[in-house]
């Protein structure tokens, strides 16, 4: 895989996770009504402190064994399976479910960096994602270019968090709602389908190591 294909894979696979509503997203919206884009940046910093630390820890654990065919196969099967599960759940949430998944939640306005740390570190979905799908991306990154690949992977991923949280916080302060629109719902449903396709690709690729 060349560098452009590598970056494209990272962006497409991680985009739905970065853009989908979650605890951090809703708190960012609530805080953004007061702080605007500045608060979104602060939330992103708190989020990335936890996330980058987790990525480094996972990469350290994989570095010595990632080239083993059995390890590659196991990671590929787990990552592919969870990608399919996440994709199907996302399609259900945005296309089938009629419940209001976009309702804002109230929260007392505190330090946004600390809130970013808190709502990232205590989000089970975030932890599960990095231990399954994210582990596969880290494995590919190490194979691609060792630690340079891991850093490139993280940069290709984290910019979406900064842009998304900053933009939505800014829109919240202006009273403009991006989430809840039919266009957003359709886009996230399409992302769900793409996740399923990548999950199948990861599964079939994993079988080649057996």
Model pLDDT for residues 10-30, shown as the tens digit of each residue: 998 887 667 766 778 888 888
The predicted-structure confidence for 37-46, as pLDDT tens digits, reads as follows 999 999 999 9
Q: How far apart are CA 134 and CA 130, in angstroms?
A: 4
The predicted-structure confidence for 1-15, as pLDDT tens digits, reads as follows 689 989 999 998 887
Q: How far apart are CA 31 and CA 166, in angstroms?
A: 11
**Closest Cα partner for 55 from 14, 27, 101, 108?**
14
SS (HEC) of 134-165:
HHHHHHHHHHHHHHHHHHHHHHHHHHHHHHHH
Token code pair at residue 116: 């970013």
pTM beyond 0.85: no
Number of folded domains in the chain? 1
The whole-number pLDDT of residue 105 equals 47
**Closest Cα partner for 109 from 33, 24, 22?**
33
Domain that holds residue 189: 3-207
The answer to whether the beta carbons of residues 157 and 14 sit under 8 Å apart is yes
The predicted-structure confidence for 154-203, as pLDDT tens digits, reads as follows 999 999 999 999 998 998 888 766 655 676 677 778 878 888 888 898 88
Q: How far apart are CA 197 and CA 87, in angstroms?
A: 9
Cα atoms found within 13 Å of the Cα of residue 44, Cβ hemisphere only: 22
């Amino acid at each position: 895989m060349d560098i452009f294909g590598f970056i494209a894979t990272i962006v497409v696979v991680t985009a739905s996770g970065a853009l989908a509503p979650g605890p951090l997203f809703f708190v960012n919206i609530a805080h953004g009504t007061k702080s605007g884009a500045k608060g979104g940046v602060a939330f992103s910093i708190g989020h990335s402190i936890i996330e980058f630390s987790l990525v480094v820890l996972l990469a350290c654990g994989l570095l010595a064994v990632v080239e083993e065919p059995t390890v590659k196969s196991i990671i590929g099967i787990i990552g592919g399976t969870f990608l399919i599960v996440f994709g199907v759940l996302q399609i259900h949430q945005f296309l089938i479910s009629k419940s209001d998944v976009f309702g804002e939640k109230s929260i007392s306005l505190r330090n946004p960096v600390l809130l970013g740390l808190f709502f990232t570190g205590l989000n089970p979905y975030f932890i599960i994602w990095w231990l399954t799908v994210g582990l596969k991306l880290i494995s590919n990154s190490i194979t691609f270019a060792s630690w340079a690949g891991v850093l490139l992977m993280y940069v290709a991923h984290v910019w979406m968090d900064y842009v998304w949280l900053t933009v939505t916080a800014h829109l919240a302060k202006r009273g403009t709602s991006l989430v809840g629109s039919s266009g957003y719902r359709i886009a996230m449903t399409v992302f769900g389908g793409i996740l399923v396709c990548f999950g199948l690709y990861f599964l079939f690729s994993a079988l080649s190591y057996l």
